[in-house]
Amino acid sequence: MTARRPTIGVFDSGVGGLTVLKALLELIPDADYVYFGDTARLPYGSKSVETVARYAVEAAHFLEAHSAGLLVIACNTATALALDRITAATRVPIIGVIEPGAAAAAAVSGNRRIVVVGTEATVSSHAYLRALEAQGLEAREKACPLLVPLVEEGWIDHPVTEQVARIYLDEAFADGFREADVLLLGCTHYPLLKPLLHRIVPPQVKIVDSAKSTARAVASELQKLPLRASAVHERRALPRLKFFATDSVEKFRRLGERFLGHPINDVEHVDLKE
């Protein structure tokens, strides 16, 4: 009898979480994926903790209903504000993006000094700061609110984007953090800027991508599940990919292809009622 492949649910408030899905596909190609983008209700960063938790739990239940055996919260705001609520409300393993990112930064830092860049909401939550300090690292957080709209505009390697990023990073690495040796990307949009960021960070700095570290955490978690060990016996070569969005399917498809790196075909509109 052919073993059932694992189905991994990935949740984000928009398309940024597709960078996490891209990393998952590269590391775990022998799984199927269901992606939920709550595009009608973004941004989450301007909403209360209670509202973010309610939206995230609704999305988690939706993904469970679509056979997800493990959920990835590929949204820094939802991870920072609602991971405990999501975990308590679901029956499957949950992995967020913050703890894996902090662990990866700790693993590669030589001087235990980290700069974290993210959105206003993520930085205001201090979730990365707490996670890094718990591992004995000194961290500075820097909000970079202009980078997300620049990425969504497609200005990945534009001189304006480079100038904006340079201003943010000059401030982040100033004073006592001139010798910091890790830049932790605390937003799922930022991996698209890695080539640009490599050009402007100080020479000693390693860039840690929370998307890739989250994918490694998922791979480790899957090793604990019985179906993971036997899933390799199914000979279907490619994963099934199913996408759901709460707003325009066309916009999700157009923007999402930049983040995922290949065409997105199977997108369905879904309306989660208030």
> What is the C-alpha separation between 98 and 130, in angstroms, rounded?
10
Is 144 assigned a catalytic role?
no
Catalytic residue from among 116, 187, 207, 245: 187
Strand order across the 138-143 sheet: 138-143, 113-118, 182-185, 206-209
Catalytic residue from among 42, 71, 75, 245: 75
Is 75 assigned a catalytic role?
yes
SS3 69: coil
* Nearest to 165, CA basis, from 204, 195, 205, 134: 195
Please report, to the nearest 10 degrees, the dihedral formed by the alpha carbons of residues 127, 132, 137, 143 taken in order: -40
> What is the C-alpha separation between 46 and 208, in angstroms, rounded?
26
The catalytic residues are: 75, 187
